[in-house]
Amino acid sequence: MKKKDFISLLDYTSEELHSLIDLADQIKANPKEYSNSLSGKILGMIFQKNSTRTRISFQAGIYQLGGTGFFFGANDLQLSRGETIYDTANVLSRYMDGIMIRTFAYSDVQELAKHATIPVINGLTDYNHPCQVMADIMTIREKLGKNTKGMKLTYVGDSNNMTLSLIYMCANFKMNMTVVSPMKYQLKEREDVKKIALKIYPDMKLDFVEDAASGVKGSNVIYTDTWTSMGQEKEREQRLKDLNGYMVDSKMMKLADKNAIFMHCLPAHRGEEVATEVIDGHQSVVFDEAENRMHAQKAIMYHLMRD
């Protein structure tokens, strides 16, 4: 049987993604039933960028399924001294049962997946963050109900890897989405992305706007992320200036649906992309969202790594 990977939502059908989230719900509700399901399996975890949630939720998750995780930091592997991805993929495939990688270029993840004979999971690239949005949709279903069709998610701030993955997540779960960013910080490839999203969900309303007040109106979910993603540290001062006015604060939350929830993949910067009163307020679900990383990823590992 051909091995499977989890590196982009676009490799999965809506039905498959729904089944994965149903499985994540089941694993969360009955963790003991799954405690030996990946007994003896090893997940290699390659991190070329920092991480709190991804690293710990994968390591705890594989352990809870009966397996174990091996962590490799940015300078640990010969990869950092020029060994090729091809050789790394082939060698790791001889020792382990799955690889999770967090890195810069999505093309590196694709290459790893192409040459590894074991499943590869994308733990974030500059382009996308598919594991995060699986936890996000799981959280949305828990808080607002499983019938997500027609719900509106508004993403506010810097359009980045999260924005792209959220668009494809919304399309697959029949949600509408508005991206509120200053034009300079909108996704460059938004026209192509829109075409792909509408193929998945032809009735999807997907808008890219600059004005926060109109964009947020009537939203069921308000989502934001850091204004300075990993690798963009040199641009931080400029970004703080350019994105001034896009902080999600209580005034903005009041324009959304009265039962709206606030989400953030974390790490957060209080007083920049989100006001303290919002992230620490009653509409915020950020810690349930962080917890769900582990449940959603247990479902992904179970799906990919089971014999």
Q: Is 181 in the site for ligand NVA (CB under 6 A)?
A: no
Decide if 242 is catalytic. Answer: no
Catalytic residue among 102, 141, 239, 264: 102
SS3 208: strand
Decide if 283 is catalytic. Answer: no
Q: Is 266 in the site for ligand CP (CB under 6 A)?
A: yes
What is the closest distance, in whole angstroms, from the C-beta atom of residue 167 to ligand CP in the complex? 17
The alpha carbon torsion through 110, 111, 114, 120 (nearest 10 deg) reads: -60
Q: Are 259 and 236 in contact (CB under 8 A)?
A: no
Cα separation of 180 and 182, whole Å? Answer: 7
Residues 124-163 interacting with ligand NVA (rule: CB under 6 A):
124, 160-162
Q: Is 54 in the site for ligand CP (CB under 6 A)?
A: yes
Exposure string (b/e) for 275-294, b if CB count within 10 Å is 16 or more? beebbeeebbbbeebbbbbb
Closer residue to ligand NVA (CB): 37 or 103: 103
What is the closest distance, in whole angstroms, from the C-beta atom of residue 99 to ligand CP in the complex? 16
52 binds, among ligand NVA, ligand CP, none (CB under 5 to 8 A by kind): ligand CP
Decide if 225 is catalytic. Answer: yes
**Single residue of 151, 265, 268, 275 touching ligand CP by CB under 6 A:** 265
Decide if 102 is catalytic. Answer: yes
Decide if 132 is catalytic. Answer: yes
Q: Is 231 in the site for ligand CP (CB under 6 A)?
A: no
Task: Please classify residue 6 by burial: count the beta carbons closer than 10 Å to its beta carbon, then call 0-12 exposed, 13-18 middle and 19+ buried.
Answer: buried
**Which residues, listed in sequence order, are joined to residue 152 by a DSSP beta bridge?**
176
Catalytic residue among 265, 283, 295, 297: 265
Closer residue to ligand NVA (CB): 139 or 226: 226
- One-letter amino acid at 278 equals V
Binding residue count for ligand CP, defined by CB under 6 A = 9
> How many other C-beta atoms lie within 10 A of the C-beta of residue 186?
17
Tell which phi-psi region holds residue 156, choosing left (phi > 0), alpha (psi between -120 and 50) or beta: beta
Token couple for 94: 């001889």
Residues 197-256 interacting with ligand NVA (rule: CB under 6 A):
225-226, 229-230
Outline where the chain has alpha helix (H).
14-29, 53-64, 85-95, 106-115, 130-144, 161-172, 190-200, 212-216, 236-242, 250-255, 276-279, 286-305
Closer residue to ligand CP (CB): 89 or 265: 265
Closest CA to 226 of 246, 206, 204, 212: 246
**Single residue of 51, 148, 161, 284 touching ligand CP by CB under 6 A:** 51
Catalytic residue among 64, 132, 283, 297: 132
Residues in contact with ligand NVA by CB under 6 A are 124, 160-162, 225-226, 229-230, 265
Residues in contact with ligand CP by CB under 6 A are 51-54, 124, 132, 265-267
Active site positions, annotated? 102, 129, 132, 225, 265, 293
